[in-house]
């Protein structure tokens, strides 16, 4: 699984733009059983962040999902670490919907201390996305 994310975190006077290329390192799901297709999941991604100036950092993301037949909500906890060791932690939440074997993660609300903004996840394909 490879996911592509174009992110932008903004403060009133500053915008941080970056692109994430991530791979699912772990995916665990559990059927709830209350209705057909209701699944809870815990997902771990790792990958690289690239910035417009050419610099690169590493990124890790842990996500929880609550989907019924591939649609529902997700929560993410992200860490972005730059070469100098500085790190940015942020979390996000948003809706997702299925599109064939691809899950489309719609607009995501981000929050961290002193930084607020939005990101747009263009597309991500998760293993078993049609069932998750």
- Overall domain count for the chain: 1
DSSP string covering 41-71: EEEEEEEEEE-TTS-EEEEEEEEEEEEETTE
Is position 100 within any domain? yes
Q: What is the pLDDT of residue 20?
A: 85
Domain hosting residue 46, numbered range:
2-124
User: Is 132 inside a domain boundary?
Assistant: no
Q: Does 53 map to a domain?
A: yes
- Bridge pairing between strands 71-81 and 38-50: unpaired
Asked, for residue 7, whether it belongs to a domain, the answer is yes
Position 131 in a domain:
no
With tokens 């991530």, the residue in question is 22
Please calculate the CA angle 45-49-55 and round it to the nearest 5 degrees. 155
Residue 130 lies in a domain: no
CA distances from 70 to 43, 102, 115 (A): 15, 9, 30
Q: How confident is the model at residue 132 (pLDDT cuts 50, 70, 90)?
A: very low
pLDDT in tens, 91-111: 888 888 877 766 666 555 554
Cut 0.75: pTM above it:
no
């Amino acid at each position: 699984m490879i996911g592509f994310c174009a992110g932008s975190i903004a403060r009133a006077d500053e915008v941080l733009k970056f692109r994430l290329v991530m791979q699912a390192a772990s995916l665990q799901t559990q059927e709830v059983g209350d209705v057909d297709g209701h699944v809870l999941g815990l997902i771990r991604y790792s990958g690289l962040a690239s910035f417009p100036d050419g610099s690169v950092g590493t990124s890790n993301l842990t996500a929880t999902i609550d989907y019924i037949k591939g649609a529902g909500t997700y929560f993410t906890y992200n860490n972005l670490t730059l070469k100098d060791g500085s790190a940015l932690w942020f979390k996000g939440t948003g809706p997702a919907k299925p599109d064939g074997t691809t899950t489309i993660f719609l607009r995501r609300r981000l929050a961290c201390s002193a930084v607020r903004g939005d990101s747009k996840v263009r597309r991500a394909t998760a293993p078993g996305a049609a069932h998750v």
